[in-house]
Amino acid sequence: MQDPGTTAVFGSYVLAEQGGVPVVLRDHWVLTEGRKIAAVTPTKPQADTVLDAPGRFVLPGLMNLHNHCFSEAVARSHSEDGAGRKGGKSIVYTVLLPLTKRGLEIYTPEERMAVARMGVLQLLKGGNATVMEPFRGELVEMFDAAAEMGLRFYGAPYLFSTSDARMQPDGSMVYAGDDGAAGLAAWDALHAKWEGHDQGRIRLAMSPHATDTCGPDLLRACAARAREVGAPITTHLAQSDNEVAIIRERYGRSPAEYLDWLGLMAPDLLAAHCIASTDDDLRLMAARGATILNCPRVFARGGRPASFGRFRSHGVRTVIGTDGYNMDLLGEMNAASIISKLMAGTGEIATSPEIISAVTDTAAAAINRPDLGRIKPGAAADLTVVDMSHPHLQPLYEPRRALVALANRGNVDAVMVDGRLLIQGGRYLAGDEATIMAAGVAAIEKIWSLPEAQAAFAG
């Protein structure tokens, strides 16, 4: 991609940083030079490109540290209203794992790339600047699409002790295969190819899939390799009651205790969901400095709360991701706030500044990136610009509260990554959106037409 020049972005509101504290500045400009923020100033600077529209809220590029482009698309509009849950069970084992595995067996490379491009497009249009994406390792085109389309990307190809996990009619799980060594070898090859691409815009995270699909030897090996090369470690933890029961039966521990026993419960661990964690589990995670990736809407649609406020109340660093629900980070922020307030019975928790921090500076701290998640000179030139002039956002008194409580992905006006303007006026600048979407939809519908897919979604 071409190196960026200079860009000046006007914000009626700018979420900047002064003395290490986020502050909202009125009527300021953000100047980017190359890949860095050069200045935050009340006077209009000279620049190659000028974005000068009123009513904009200029935010640090939003960070989404848990998303699934492929499985989200496979499940979209099929798994609502309890469909596919087989007696109320998690769709992870009835829909997501088996159908994504089958899809990758029948896809051509072009179809895999179509799915990846569609996902990246939806992420960018939703205001995401940085994304950590766990995915089946066969979908290597996720790296190509992110590199091509400009997203800041932490690719996290799954590692499994067994990649073939299926739920039986009685709710029991059957696991087949031993894929750990092959998965680590594939991860090493991807790391050699992609780590640090485009001056560090593309990186890898280590992603053992979950506690019930990864045995002790693989988890220890993953942690050792990740720490050798400085990669974040991300996994699914206590995402269902079934997982908790399996780990208790196998090892006499909770999933959190299992990871602690193996040495993974540490500041470099990003643990997705944790909805079946006990208070003792959360206290353990807080003591070890781990991070919870809170994705409330994917569980809310199944009737179960995943409360950001509960995790934070135990002192656990908590950030917000979209998981497999529509890649709408602003919607996820709203849900995190509302569900937390509902579960706690008070409107005084999960405040708007906390929620915004969870997708900016707190998320940056979770992956040890002080150059991300903030607007200040020297930081990476990643910006998300939200148009606050829409009728549903007016009249406007406090922009952070309005952003979390009232804004939606349709209000995303611009996204910049590494000084490159990728979204402007709500549109992707470097390709035809209709063409990208048509190819991606056709690829997903190829899976939907499979008999096993129709059976999975039926019950």
Please write down the HEC assignment for all residues of 309-347.
HHHHHCCCEEEECCECCCCCHHHHHHHHHHHHHHHHCCC
Q: Would you say 24 and 400 are in contact if contact means Cβ atoms under 8 Å apart? A: yes
Confidence of residue 80 (pLDDT cuts 50, 70, 90): confident
Q: Is the pLDDT of residue 235 over 80?
A: yes
Q: What is the mean pLDDT of residues 321-329?
A: 91
Q: What is the mean pLDDT of residues 107-117?
A: 97
What pLDDT shows up at residue 146?
98
Q: What is the mean pLDDT of residues 125-145?
A: 97
Give alpha helix (H) positions in 22-108. Answer: 69-75, 91, 97-106
How far apart are alpha carbons 357 and 140 in whole angstroms?
31
Burial-class residue 313 by CB neighbours within 10 Å (0-12, 13-18, 19+): middle
Q: Is the pLDDT of residue 173 over 60?
A: no
Decide which of 456 and 308 is more confident: 308
How far apart are alpha carbons 219 and 99 in whole angstroms?
25
Q: Is the pLDDT of residue 77 over 90?
A: no
Confidence of residue 250 (pLDDT cuts 50, 70, 90): very high
How far apart are alpha carbons 360 and 375 in whole angstroms?
10
Could you read off the pLDDT of 385-429 as tens digits, one per residue? 999 999 999 999 999 999 999 999 999 999 999 999 999 999 999
Q: Is the pLDDT of residue 37 over 80?
A: yes
Q: What number of CA atoms fall less than 13 Å from residue 121's CA on the CB side?
A: 22
How far apart are alpha carbons 86 and 16 in whole angstroms?
48
Left (φ > 0), alpha (ψ -120 to 50) or beta: where does 110 sit?
alpha
Q: What is the mean pLDDT of the chain?
A: 93
Q: What is the mean pLDDT of residues 287-295?
A: 98
Could you read off the pLDDT of 303-317 as tens digits, one per residue? 999 999 999 999 999
What pLDDT shows up at residue 189?
97
What's the whole-model pTM score? 0.94
